[in-house]
Structure formats: C-alpha cells, structure tokens
Amino acid sequence: MSKIPETLRYSDTHEWVEDLGGGRYRVGITDHAQELLGDLVFVEAPEADKAIRAGAVCGVLESVKAAADLYAPLDGTVVERNDGLGDNPQWLNEDPYGQGWIMVVEADASAGDGLMDAAAYAKIAEV
C-alpha cells in the first residue's frame, strides 16, 4: 500500500498539496503516482512567476517506461521550484512527500477547496 499522509490534501490527478500558511502551498506527486510511473528520470515544472490553473497541464513527468502530464492542483502563481529535481529526479521515487516536492504556489485561501482529504484520495488510489 502506498503512503497517504493525513495532513495533506489531494487532487484526482495524483498531486498532493500542503498548506504552508500565509497563502502558500507546497505541491508534489503522491507515493501512488510515483509507483505507477516507475523510476522517474525527468521532471519539467513551471518556473517561478508562472501562473497555473487548477486541472490544467503545467509540466511533464518522465520515467523509464512512461510519460505523464503534471497537472496543477490549484489556481495560483508559482513562487518556488525544486530545482534539485533536475539532477535528482529519483527524489520523486525515494521521498515523494519530502525531498521530492515539486513547487510552491501562492494562491487564495479558497484555492484548494476542491481538493480531497486523505480518506477520499485513498479510495481513488486503491482502484
């Protein structure tokens, strides 16, 4: 079973969102997503200052055997990107909720309203 931390919220496209307070949110992909994709070898995430829209494609994830779009889980503006992933895409496999975070987004307090809690996401990740 993949890990689904209780403290985070989730999109149905397998991104997690952590509320950092002050209108800032950290974003990454779930443990389940990295398991599906296999060994990740490349991540393309939006640069700082880029506006993203919930549900829209904002980047690319490539593994040895698959390629997947990265979807924005909420509306907002990117303020920070994890540039370490450029040389260390394996962080997404090894530590998807920690070192493998993808970006920090600035957004309204209501931006994440459509997201799921851990229990709801667990139902999606099971099937």
Partner 1 sequence: MPYIAHDAAETAAMLAAVGVERLDQLFDEIPPVLQVQDMALPEGLSEMALQRELEGRALANAPLRCFAGGGAYAHHIPAIVWEIAGRGEFYSAYTPYQAEASQGTLQVIYEYQSFITRLTGLEVSNASLYDGASGLAEACLMALRIQGGDKSILVPENLLPGWRRVLDSVLGLQDIRLVSVPYDRATGTLILPADAGDAAALIIPQSNALGLLEPVDALTDWAHAHGLLAIAVVNPLALALLKAPGVWGTQGADMAVGEGQPLGIPLSGGGPYFGFLACRKAQVRQLPGRLVAKTVDGQGREGFCLTLQAREQHIRRGKATSNICTNQGLMVTAATIHMAALGGYGLQQTAVLCHERAVRLRELLAGVPGVSLPYGGAFFHEFVVRLPHAAVAVRDALLGYGLLAGLPLSDWGMGEAGDLLVCATELLEEADLLAYRGALTSVLETL
Partner 2 sequence: MSDSIFDHDHHVPAVALPSDIPAALLRKTPLNLPNPAELEVLRHYTRLSQKNFSIDTQFYPLGSCTMKYNPRIAHTMAALPGFARLHPDTPAQGMQGLLQVLWELQEWLAATTGMAAVSLTPAAGAQGELAGVAMIRAYHAAHGDHGRRKMLIPTAAHGTNPASAQMAGFDVVEIPNLADGDLDMAFLDQHLGPDIAGIMLTNPSTLGVFERRITEIAARVHGAGGLLYYDGANLNAILGRVRPGQMGFDAMHLNLHKTFATPHGGGGPGAGAVAVQERLRPFLPLPVVAREAAGALRWLDEGDLPRSIGRLSAHGGNIGVLLRAHAYLRRLGRAGVGRVSAYAALNANYLLRELQRVGYQAAFPERRASHEFILSVSDLQKATGIRALDVAKRLLDFGIHAPTVYFPQLVPECLLIEPTETESKATLDRFVTVMAQIRREALEQPELLREAPHHLPVGRLDEALAARRLDVAGGL
Site residues, partner 1 (CB under 8 A): 41-42, 62-67
Nearer to partner 2, 8 or 43 (CB): 43
Nearer to partner 2, 5 or 38 (CB): 38
Shortest Cβ distance from residue 62 to partner 1 (Å)? Answer: 4
CB crowding 55-75: b at 16 or more within 10 Å, else e: eeebbebbbeeeebebbbbbb
Check binding of 109 to partner 2 (CB under 8 A): no
Sign of CA dihedral 91, 92, 95, 99: positive
Shortest Cβ distance from residue 40 to partner 2 (Å)? Answer: 8
67 binds, among partner 2, partner 1, none (CB under 5 to 8 A by kind): partner 1
Shortest Cβ distance from residue 41 to partner 1 (Å)? Answer: 8
Residue list 32-71, contact with partner 2 (CB under 8 A):
39-42, 62-65
Residues that bind partner 2 (CB under 8 A): 39-42, 62-65, 89-90
